[in-house]
Structure 1
Amino acid sequence: MIVPQYWAEGRIQERVDGKQITVRRYGWSDDSPLAAQAHADQRTREAFDRITSGETLERRERKVAYNGADGMPIREEIVERQGESVVTRNGYGARCLNTPDVMFVDIDFDEPLRTSVFGFALVPALIAGIVGGWTAKTWIGGLIAAIVVFIVAYRIGLAKKRGEASTNPAPEKRAAERIGRFLHQHPDWHLRVYRTPAGFRLLAMHDVFSPTDMTVADCFQALGVDKVYARMCRNQNCFRARLSAKPWRIGIGEHIRPQPGVWPVSPEKLPVRDAWIAQYEKAAEGHAACQYLESVGNTGRVHPNAQAVQELHDERTRALSGLPIA
């Protein structure tokens, strides 16, 4: 797990065989901005030489934070460090806990929508319009059916896009059953179970794990972990848990400023970012990120690293506070 303090961008623009080639790469360091720039320049030169020798590489590296990153270090503002764990602020402003070896398992009851909400709602609306028009023998009846279904599907799609759970109890029951089966097959495991707005969060207490271990992959598969979360854990070589509320769940309708919220931002834009964060943190005080439910499995087996992470996690998420989760 790498969460650098400093970032920089290198740029090389040269003519090769009569063509102008421009290559950009990012660099990072925990030591200083100068060290980050030196690293960026080194990576840029290496990429430039490979491109001019015939390799097919992107000429410009994308500036991404965590989601969507393909093995790059986590590019988020560092809020605090506790031992080997790092608390960062993610792209939409929430605080997140990143750990190199203490495993969090995220189980969403409903899969968040990966496509556009409009597209999600359009297909059932068209079908309803055709069926409704044929049944009513009039295009007005079909139009009314299409509009009604579109509105309902759009609202469902919007909730799925935001990662919110539906009121359908079946997915929650299935997730609980998967946890029960997993513990039956792994009686030596100790898991703390938390409720999140959209599912369960599990914290493995009995041992530490490498995110790239097959044991972790098998666990994620058996428990039905979100595929994006599983890929991010593997690529970023860490586990991750959100510590504070999602802004839109606590009345913060405006996105973190400036947009996009990828760290770092230019110094002149820090005041507007700091103002947004102050508003967000004040609103988040009345909410928990998750709620502790129970400890299951071999509860007498506790790894000291997991114990330290659990105490930090429970304090920062307000998991034992009884506050509404968001």
Structure 2
Amino acid sequence: MIVPQYWAEARAQHRRNGKQITVRRFGWSDVGQAEAQANAERRAQEALDGLRDGEKLARREPKVPYNGAEGVPIREEIVARHDDVLITRNSYGARCLNTADVLFADIDFEQQPSLRFAIGVFAALAALGLLAGWLSESVQVLAVVLLIALLASGLLAGRVHRLYLELNGGHLATARKRILRFIERNPGWSFRLYRTPAGLRALATHRTFAADDPAVAHCFSALGVDPMYARMCQRQKCFRARLSAKPWRMGVAHHLKPRPGVWPVAPERLHARRDWVERYETAARGYAACSFLEVLGSGVVAPAVARVQWLHDELSGAQSRLPLA
């Protein structure tokens, strides 16, 4: 896990056949700005050399804070350090906990059926269409039924999905059953379960994990973890948990200033950011990011996890009974 203090950008240029090739790359450092600049210049030259050798490389890296970053560390303001745990401010202003080895899993409740589910419903309707066409020996009947299947599968998938959830006790009960099934197949695991505004958060307490451990990928798949979150855990080699409310859920209408909230910002624009953060933090005191529900599994808490769990619960308001946002 790398969340650098200093950032820089450099460009390298080469003229070939009368055309100029320009490559830009970011650099970073925890030591100082000069080292960040040197790192940027080295990366820019390496990328330019790769392009000259025929490699297919992007000429410019996108300036993004977390989601979508490829090969670049987390680009967020460091709000606080607790040994090896970092608290950062994300692109929309919320505080996030970043840890290299304590497994957090975000499970968002699906409001709509997944693509796989919808395809399954269409396949079932199409099979009925094939059967109807075969029994009637009519190509026209087959075509009509297949067309109906195509048009109706989306609507029917939604209704079947809602019925499935109702029969299984709703979103929370369905997600909880998935976790319990995973624990049955993996005895010794232990989770602290938290309710979030859009789903659940599971914290594995029995041991620590590297983000690229195959056991993590298996756990995420079995629990139905948000695919973007799972992908970014692997890319950034860390786990994350949001600690404060999303601004729009507590009536903060304006976005983090200046837009788009990517760190660092120019010195002359810092005052606008600080003003926004002050208003945001005042509002956030009345809300929690999650609420503790229960412990599932063995109940074992490894010492290395216990300190991160305490920090998470304290900073997220998990035991506060405040409204979630």
**Contact 1:111 1:226 (C-alpha < 8 Å) held by counterparts:** no
Match of 1:178 in 2: 178
Counterpart check, 1:307 vs 2:306: yes
Alignment of 1:61-72 (within 5 A): 61-72=61-72
Task: After superposition, give the CA deviation of every residue in 1:256-281 in whole Å (9 maximum; x if it has no partner).
Answer: 11111111111111000100000000
Consecutive unaligned residues in structure 1, runs of 5 or more: 115-167
Match of 1:293 in 2: 293
CA distance in 2, matches of 1:111, 1:244: 23
CA distance in 2, matches of 1:112, 1:101: 32
CA distance in 2, matches of 1:91, 1:75: 9
Match of 1:109 in 2: 109
Match of 2:321 in 1: 322
Match of 2:213 in 1: 213
Residue identity opposite 1:92 in structure 2: Y
Match of 1:36 in 2: 36
Match of 1:235 in 2: 235
Offset of residue 17 of structure 1 = 2.8
**Contact 2:205 2:301 (C-alpha < 8 Å) held by counterparts:** yes
**Contact 1:16 1:52 (C-alpha < 8 Å) held by counterparts:** no
Q: TM-score, normalised by structure 2?
A: 0.81
Match of 2:132 in 1: none
Are residues 18 and 264 of structure 1, via their aligned partners in 2, closer, same or farther at CA, if it must alter by over 3 Å? same
Structure possessing the higher radius of gyration over alpha carbons: 2
Cα RMSD (Å):
1.8
Task: After superposition, give the CA deviation of every residue in 1:39-71 in whole Å (9 maximum; x if it has no partner).
Answer: 000001111111122221111111111111123
Counterpart check, 1:267 vs 2:284: no
Residue identity opposite 2:173 in structure 1: K
CA distance in 1, matches of 2:187, 2:312: 24
Residue 67 of structure 2 aligns to a residue whose secondary structure is: coil
Are residues 219 and 111 of structure 1, via their aligned partners in 2, closer, same or farther at CA, if it must alter by over 3 Å? farther
Residue identity opposite 1:232 in structure 2: M
Residue 170 of structure 2 aligns to a residue whose secondary structure is: helix
CA distance in 1, matches of 2:262, 2:313: 26
Residue 210 of structure 2 aligns to a residue whose secondary structure is: coil
Offset of residue 112 of structure 1 = 8.5
Offset of residue 111 of structure 1 = 5.8
CA distance in 2, matches of 1:112, 1:290: 23
Residue 312 of structure 1 aligns to a residue whose secondary structure is: helix
Residue 78 of structure 1 aligns to a residue whose secondary structure is: strand
CA distance in 1, matches of 2:56, 2:298: 51
Offset of residue 316 of structure 1 = 0.4
Are residues 303 and 282 of structure 1, via their aligned partners in 2, closer, same or farther at CA, if it must alter by over 3 Å? same
Alignment of 1:73-222 (within 5 A): 73-110=73-110, 170-222=170-222
Aligned structure 1 segments of 4 or more residues deviating by more than 4 angstroms: 111-114
CA distance in 2, matches of 1:261, 1:239: 21
CA distance in 2, matches of 1:59, 1:49: 12
Residue identity opposite 2:288 in structure 1: A
CA distance in 1, matches of 2:34, 2:199: 43
Residue identity opposite 2:244 in structure 1: S
Offset of residue 304 of structure 1 = 1.3
CA distance in 2, matches of 1:197, 1:303: 28
Residue identity opposite 1:254 in structure 2: H
Number of corresponding residues: 273
**Contact 2:288 2:323 (C-alpha < 8 Å) held by counterparts:** yes
